Amino acid sequence: MNVRDRSPQTPVKLILNASPDAELLKNRAQMLNDAGYYTSSAQTSDEVVQLAAQMHCDVALICHSFDDDQQVRIQQRLREISPHIMVLLVKQEMDGNHRFLVSRIREALRSSA
């Protein structure tokens, strides 16, 4: 997406896309980019925390491919270093339903505005 294509009233939204599965990460990033979002992707919990500390991400998508303990630790660390970030856990059934995932992100962003 070209930044010049966005209206001045539409703020750029950055989504932190996290998954240890490279294929899921790539597909989700493409889907999010197609929906008009910018993404930054991470494959490890350490990368998630590092990127969140470096950038102002609006939403963090934490993939089901992280085990439950990792998901909890990532959420805790994100809340510590970036309390403003919205954390959404992506369930396996969401991966096949891009419209649902995008609508969930839009809903979360509207509720935080």
pLDDT tens readout for residues 42-99? 999 999 999 999 998 999 999 999 999 999 999 999 999 989 899 999 888 776 778 8
Which residue do the tokens 């500390």 mark? 53
As a whole number of angstroms, the distance between CA 67 and CA 54 comes to 24
Helical residues (DSSP H) of the chain, grouped into ranges: 22-34, 45-54, 68-81, 92-95, 98-112
Antiparallel, parallel or unpaired: β 38-42 and 59-63: unpaired
At the fourth CATH level, the homologous superfamily of domain 3-112 is: Response regulator (3.40.50.2300)
The pLDDT assigned to 13 comes to: 87
Reported pTM: 0.83
The pLDDT assigned to 95 comes to: 66
Q: What is the dihedral of CA 79, 37, 101, 20, to 10 degrees?
A: -60
